[in-house]
């Protein structure tokens, strides 16, 4: 069977969907799988051993030159590339208008998607031909994706932590080996303090106090701080200075090299953010904090992962800004996070 997965973006959503590849390969060893992804998210999928085809969309570029003949030629070429494979079915695990249109133009008659309760955009129901059964027990993002794949393979799947493979080059592995060898010996704990939403952020002083507590408890530890942009770099430099000599600001690595580094960590600590999800999917223990988002629906699962959810009654509000933001940040104490760190590290 030839199956086309449509999960175009964002990076965190694709990470949550990666276990679908392992699940389909385990239950259908002869399956040939293709994946439609946005160009800026392709790195996470390139080289995956279970992917036979990777089809790239360039929506950002196409939208900027919508009336250009070259845009329409490129779009037509992408459609032709998908149709040439001759897929037997589509798994639309994005659930929005764009993914529905991609499924339709693929020419595949059988297109499976989420039930109405799970679709990102209601218009998606016009494009899928089969909607999978809704199961409230499958509340987690990964399990929602697996429930659609289950409609094809019919093989059971459990609710534990699903790992997946992310292809990393030998060059990237050697680069990270060299970097790790230059650090102080002992345990390696990575703190990723940045987030995309203000309501997912914790606070510099809290990160400093947590870092200090970790260094006191584990004298041999090396605390690494990662960052995603120049503003975050300046912030983590201040946090590292506040923690002390056991802390070190990392250089910024390409995605695949960063994955190689995450595999070498003893623990990754952060909010609802990509590096935490990446660490979990490659098997590294995590501690993560959740305020406006829902840790039970998107956080790492399994015995090696601990989620700290804000105790406020308005938590999981999914607001990107809030007048009670400071109160919400304070509701997750350093003691709560440090207790979780100790449970994982021992």
Burial-class residue 74 by CB neighbours within 10 Å (0-12, 13-18, 19+). middle
Among 92-101, 134-143, 186-195, 210-219, the range scoring the smallest mean pLDDT is 134-143
Q: Are strands 2-6 and 32-38 parallel, antiparallel or unpaired?
A: parallel
Within 10 angstroms of residue 34's Cβ, the number of other Cβ atoms is 20
pLDDT band at 287 (very low <50, low <70, confident <90, very high): very high
Q: Does pLDDT of 135 surpass 80?
A: no
* Rounded Cα distance, 141 and 297, in Å: 6
Percent of the chain with pLDDT over 70: 97
Are the C-beta atoms of residues 206 and 329 closer than 8 Å to each other? yes
pLDDT (0 to 100) of residue 244: 95
The residue among 113, 117, 40 whose CA lies nearest residue 274 is: 40
pLDDT (0 to 100) of residue 238: 96
Q: C-alpha 56: how far from its chain's center?
A: 19
Tell me the three state secondary structure of residue 5. strand
**What are the boundaries of each domain within the chain?**
2-153, 170-345
Are the C-beta atoms of residues 36 and 9 closer than 8 Å to each other? no
Asked if omega into 10 is within 30° of 0 (cis), the reply is yes
In eight-state DSSP terms, residue 304 is: T
* Rounded Cα distance, 130 and 123, in Å: 14
CATH code of domain 2-153: 3.40.50.2000
Are the C-beta atoms of residues 161 and 301 closer than 8 Å to each other? yes
Are the C-beta atoms of residues 268 and 279 closer than 8 Å to each other? yes
pLDDT (0 to 100) of residue 51: 96
Fold match between domain 2-153 and domain 170-345:
yes
Alpha helices in the chain (DSSP H): 11-17, 19-27, 59-64, 69-85, 97-105, 141-153, 170-181, 204-217, 230-243, 255-264, 274-281, 295-298, 325-330, 334-345
- Interval 20-30: pLDDT, tens: 999 999 999 99
For 19, residues 6+ apart whose C-beta sits below 8 A from its C-beta are: 142, 145, 146, 162, 163, 164, 281
Percent of the chain with pLDDT over 90: 79
Q: Does pLDDT of 159 surpass 70?
A: no
pLDDT (0 to 100) of residue 165: 80
pLDDT (0 to 100) of residue 162: 65
User: Which CATH number fits the domain 170-345, given the four candidates 3.40.50.2000, 1.10.645.10, 3.40.350.10, 2.60.40.10?
Assistant: 3.40.50.2000
Are the C-beta atoms of residues 45 and 54 closer than 8 Å to each other? yes
* Rounded Cα distance, 256 and 245, in Å: 28
- Interval 231-273: pLDDT, tens: 899 999 999 999 999 999 999 999 999 999 999 999 999 999 8
């Amino acid at each position: 069977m030839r199956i086309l997965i449509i999960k175009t973006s964002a990076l965190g959503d694709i990470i949550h969907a990666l276990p679908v590849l392992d699940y389909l390969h385990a239950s259908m060893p002869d399956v040939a799988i293709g994946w439609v992804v946005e160009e800026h998210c392709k790195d996470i999928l390139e080289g995956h051993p279970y992917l036979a085809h990777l089809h790239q969309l360039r929506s950002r570029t196409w939208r900027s030159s919508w009336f250009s003949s070259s845009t329409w030629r490129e779009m037509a070429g992408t459609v032709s590339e998908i149709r040439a494979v001759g897929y037997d079915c589509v798994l639309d695990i994005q659930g929005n208008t764009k993914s529905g249109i991609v499924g339709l133009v693929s020419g595949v008659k059988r297109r499976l998607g989420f039930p109405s309760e799970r679709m990102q955009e209601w218009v998606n129901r016009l494009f899928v031909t089969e909607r999978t059964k809704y199961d409230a027990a499958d509340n987690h993002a990964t399990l929602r994706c697996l429930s659609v794949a289950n409609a094809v393979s019919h093989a059971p799947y459990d609710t534990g932590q699903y790992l997946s493979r992310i292809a990393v080059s030998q060059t990237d592995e050697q680069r990270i080996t060299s970097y790790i060898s230059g650090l102080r010996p002992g345990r390696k704990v990575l703190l990723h303090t940045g987030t995309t939403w203000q309501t997912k952020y914790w606070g510099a002083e809290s990160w400093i106090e947590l870092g200090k507590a970790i260094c006191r408890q584990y004298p041999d530890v090396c605390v690494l701080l990662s960052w995603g942009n120049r503003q975050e770099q300046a912030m983590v430099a201040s946090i590292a200075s506040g923690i002390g000599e056991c802390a070190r600001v990392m250089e910024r690595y390409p995605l695949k090299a960063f994955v190689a580094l995450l595999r070498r960590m003893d623990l990754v600590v952060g909010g609802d953010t990509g590096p935490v999800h990446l660490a979990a999917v490659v098997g590294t223990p995590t501690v993560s904090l959740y305020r406006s988002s829902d840790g039970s629906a998107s956080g790492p699962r399994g015995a090696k992962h601990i989620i700290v959810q804000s105790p406020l009654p308005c938590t999981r509000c999914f607001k990107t800004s809030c007048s009670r933001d400071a109160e919400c940040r304070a509701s997750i104490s350093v003691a709560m996070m440090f207790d979780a760190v100790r449970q994982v590290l021992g």
